Chains A and B, each alone.
Chain A
Amino acid sequence: MSNKIEVRDFDFYYGDFQALKGLNLDIRANAITALIGPSGCGKSTFLRCLNRMNDTIRGTRAEGEVRFDGANIYAPDVDVVELRQQIGMVFQRPNPFPQSIYDNVAFGPRVVGMAKRSDELDHIVAESLQGAALWDEVKHRLRDPALELNPGQQQRLCIARTIAVKPEVILMDEPCSALDPVATLSVEDLMRRLSEQYTIVIVTHNMQQAARASDYTGFFWLGELVEFNATESLFSAPKMPLTEAYITGRRG
């Protein structure tokens, strides 16, 4: 399997505060990579570095390289808007726009200019909602406000909104933390199916989720990547004592 993203000697700063230190890791194409670690260790920061969402925060600075399909996304000539079409993001709290279900999914294709005719747009919307396992629940009420959906549906709507622009990578920052167990399982199922087409990176606080839903796992601690391995190996035979202490502590 090939590497979709390669991170090399990557540092990241909020002003003077160094949030990420000397990261090196490879993210495999069409796999699910989970990032775990205690609160404040830099998981979200790292995730947001992968599609340069941190550019929107003033006073931040990145050093080192993040190569996406071999090209450094922090090179000066990179078009950030285009990059984010290729590397989409789903957030911790479902954040559908206060618009209709249809308009939420159509947002991306519209701003990107993907659909020239309205039936093309209809097609993309339907396809994306099917892809996010939401179509059957909403196909009769596409014009209803998205905020009327329950949180689990809202999160799947956000996933549909993300895949509507046909990205290659989907970043998810604790996508299930605001959801109940049933909704969580349905999002995990969905991730598994999406990984056939997309490369997925997910941040999670939930060890079971990382263990059952991911192929690779990285353990962060105070801005450093302590261990990175295939999920099975990392959970059954962690190499570093810190990793072992964390996963057993969190399991217990």
Chain B
Amino acid sequence: MSSSTSVGDLVSQPYKYGFVTDIETDKIDKGLSEDVVRLISSKKDEPQFLLDFRLRAYKQWLGMKEPDWAALGHPAIDYQEMIYYAAPRQQEKKLSLDEVDPKLLETFDKLGIPLSEQKRLSNVAVDAVFDSVSIATTYREKLAEHGVIFCSISEAVKDHPELIERYLGTVVPSNDNFFAALNSAVFSDGSFVFIPKGVACPMELSTYFRINSGDTGQFERTLIVAEEGASVSYLEGCTAPMFDTNQLHAAVVELVTLDDASIKYSTVQNWYAGDENGVGGIYNFVTKRGHCRGDRSHISWTQVETGSAITWKYPSCVLQGAESVGEFYSVALTNNLQQADTGTKMVHVGPRTRSTIVSKGISAGRSSNSYRGLVQIGPKAMGARNYSQCDSMLIGDQAAANTYPYIRSQQPEASVEHEASTCRISADQLFYLQSRGIGFEEAVSMMVSGFCRDVFNQLPMEFAAEADKLLALKLEGSVG
């Protein structure tokens, strides 16, 4: 009878992207040491300043400890058991896509990110990163006509070293935290975006991260700079094969906006989450921060976090320029034994700075989902304003949701508003929808996407529908 379908079954849909591409890889030996850091740098033929940056970070890392304040639990990570560099064996990054290993193109095809001329997305330029390296970037020439630089960070180091030297590590210093230090020492690849003064980037930019190797850590580094009056919308997507071991993903993303510039950064994170017993899955420890350096500049983070065994991630904004604006829109969905501790920091430095935080946590199965956010208003942030809204939705009765909002204000006139709510999908609500002819799964997905609408509305159009489907898929089998 009807009670046989439970929301529990609904959330545990098999992971679609769990395949492994069989490709020859160039891997270095496992373990981390100063020699490994030097080896990575030399493999990439890096200038001295970057090697110095890495070595400094490595020394800082040696003296740091893993953070333990998040509501997360996992067995100790053995940093000597991991491989810090893996690349598909092909000589150089190919200028023409025709020369890229067809197996790689096929992989991205299967992931729904076709790269070839004929099939690629018409208004989105894509940088495809496979394990530690970027294998292709589409629409480069078209972007170059507008003065926009979009390439892998390794290429940027070669072609635009002055920009990298000027901006790298200026938003997230290498000693910011344990994982940022680790990333700074060993980062492999990632994307670089530079939008020159006055240019509105003519298309969406997107990086797709694919982890393929089972024993490799992923340490991407992304840097986006928008000069005065420039604007760009950027989307990051991620998937990984299903392994029964855990892979570490410790990325750093830095955004810089000068006067009147704006960056919209969206993430749809669908790393492998482990199975229903919590075996395997990605440990996602990511540091993302934007620096509104210029007056009236604008940084907006939108994230849809559905994967990973563990998510530790707080995309933040430092609002230094007068009247600059920071935004954080987040949907974090956890199921089975997934754990997420995610949120944001809005640091108001300049006068009349504004920030908005909208966080939607959905916890199903036996998962744990925490929002952790800090709103900090400095002494010079006259007239600063923040609005935060944190909503949690519980599916079933074994999941946990927590909210940890922190407010520190040194500015008596600032206005800080915080709203929070918790709801549960009830059997009566589902029955109501079913009794109107709506199938059980569709009923759940209607309720979940209704709950997330404020966030999905922020996603670039091409991806909003995807996000909706992704959540529905992730929830298959979990209510009941």
Chains A and B belong together in one complex: no
Interface residues of A (CB under 8 A from B): none
Interface residues of B (CB under 8 A from A): none
